[in-house]
Amino acid sequence: MPAPTNLKVLTPENYIGVMFGMQAALGQRCDFCHNMEDRASDEKPTKVMARKMMVMVKNINDTTFNGEQKVSCFTCHHGQQKPEAPPAGRGPGGFGGGRGPGGGAAPPPPSPPPPAQ
């Protein structure tokens, strides 16, 4: 495979691993994002969106996890082209909705004490 010529987010050192990771994370082949006659082309909207999502994931890891890779494409996509919608939250601000720690519904409030007799 020829060396990449249009890297904007990835580096020559990491792009192959990231590409294989994205295939697994989204369950798609190269031609989902790339024009196979000109892989450097940005003509496909899926490639443009993939770049935006890679920047988002990098920002989450940099600002939330001190640069440690805790979040990846697979975190949300789970091998699907489009991530499933999170479960509906409860009440203002909603509880839960994510798949990570604390992502489930909040526990119910404690039962009130029985009435005094």
The model's confidence at residue 92, banded by pLDDT at 50, 70 and 90, is low
The one-letter amino acid code at 11 reads T
The model's confidence at residue 102, banded by pLDDT at 50, 70 and 90, is very low
> pLDDT tens across 29-67, in order?
999 999 999 999 999 999 999 999 999 999 999 999 999
Residue ranges per structural domain of the chain: 16-77
Q: In whole numbers, what is the pLDDT of the chain averaged over residues?
A: 84
Which pLDDT belongs to residue 12? 93
Mean pLDDT, rounded, for 99-113? 57
Mean pLDDT, rounded, for 71-82? 93
Mean pLDDT, rounded, for 94-99? 52
